[in-house]
Structure formats: structure tokens, C-alpha cells
Amino acid sequence: MSYLKKILTSSKEIIITYLLSYFIILISCLIYTCLGHQDLTKFINTYCIYILLTYYLLTILYLFKKNYIKEKKISIKNYFPLISIGISIACFMNMLIYKIIPLQETPTIALPIAFLSSGLIGPIYEEILFRYLFFNRLKKYFSKKKAILITTLIFALIHLSPIKIIYAFFLGLILTISYEKYQTILAPVLIHIFANSIVLFLNEYNTYILLLSIINLGLNIKQIAPKNRFQS
């Protein structure tokens, strides 16, 4: 089996679920316009988020049940360091972004909905797809190092814009390494949820936040460092 074919075979759920999400939005917009409504932009900004949240939640339940993997349990004492890493990496990367690029206006979403979508359901959805399914399948064809790199790269590229790709690459690398070390999807889920959630409260550059995030990363990053080097 060729290199590319192995990757495509491993990523079938990612391809199908993302294409299906676009199809659902397209059909929803068509139905909305067929009912005589004209303001499509309002529909997309107001109602599509609820449609997608429902779709993501159903997809999570379906994929988890269909592809259930018995994993290791993680000690409660490791929860705080993992949460701390998530918050720190998000603060660090966002402060760097705000320092380099002026803040741009973005569509406002009610905080509870923003938390539910990007802070909770979104991270779980992505972790099931990229770590729980994609990464585990890649390890059947590639070494752990290559599987980690491929997973991280694909995870970054689906975020499309250059800044988001860079951000997602560093976050994705930490998420994949943490999953490999702890052997439970709960580890990257905790990091991802708190990384995405804290971003909702970051809106400008702050030197103190940048320094604290660097210090905190230094104190906690050993929690995801592998005890032994991954095999080549």
C-alpha cells in the first residue's frame, strides 16, 4: 500500500464527517431559501451553529460507540497539569499572534454558545477524529514518530488560514504526544477544551500573560514528555 493510500485509508472518518458537515449546511441553506427567506447571512450566523452542534454531538456519540477502544485510566492528580498546559499554550500562542498581527473584528457569538461549540463539543469532536481514530490507525502503518507528525500536520492544515495552521500545529503536536503518553483520549481532550475555552477571554496582547504562560509551560510540560524516545 502506498504512503498516500495509507494516510487516506486512515483518515476516512475525517474526510466523510467534514464533507458531510458542509453538505448539511448547504442543504439547510437551500431549504431556508426555498421557504421564501432572503437573509441567508442571518441564517448562517444565527442558526447554522445550532445545526452544526447537533451534528457534531451525534457524530461524537456514533464514532465513539462504533470504534470503542479500551484505554488506560488517568490519575486525577494529572488533571491540573494537563489543564494548565492547555491554558498556557493557548495564552502563549495568542499573545504572540496579538503582538505580531493587529486584532481584527470577528463575528460575535453569545459566550455560552461559543463555549459550547469551540470550548467543549468542538474539541471533543476533533479529538475523536484525529487522535482516537486517525492517529491510532496511522500507527498500524507508520512508526510512532511519523504517526505523530502526520496527525499533527493534517490537524493543522484543516484550519486553513496561515496563522491558524501555525497555531494548530503546535497545539496538535502537544495533543498527540499527550495522547500517546497517557494512552487515553481524556488527556488531549482536557488540554484541548481548556486551550479553546481560555481563548474566549483573550482579546489583546498582555506581556504579563505571555510571561506567565511561558513559566507555566516550563513547569508543566514534563507531564506530556515521553519517558522514552518514540521508535523511529
CA nearest 119: which of 202, 22, 199, 213? 199
CA-CA-CA-CA torsion sign (49, 50, 51, 54): positive
CA distance 5 to 14: 14
Could you tell me the three cell numbers for 229? Answer: 524516545
CA distance 141 to 103: 42
CA angle 69, 174, 197 (to 5 degrees): 90
CB 148 within 8 A of CB 134: no
CA distance 205 to 195: 17
Residue 114: other Cβ atoms inside 10 A: 18
Q: Give the contacts of 200 (CB within 8 A, at least 6 positions apart).
A: 111, 114, 115, 118, 119
Q: Taking the model in full, what pTM does it have?
A: 0.91
Low-confidence residues of the chain: pLDDT under 70: 1, 102-108, 227-232
CA angle 16, 21, 26 (to 5 degrees): 125
pLDDT for the residue 229: 58
Q: Angle at which helices 162-182 and 79-100 pack, to 10 degrees?
A: 170
Mark residue 182 as left, alpha or beta (left: phi above 0; alpha: psi -120 to 50; beta: remaining). alpha
Q: Please write the tens of the pLDDT for every residue from 113-154.
A: 889 999 999 999 999 999 999 999 999 999 999 999 999 999
pLDDT for the residue 230: 59
Side-chain-facing half-sphere of 70: CA atoms under 13 Å: 0
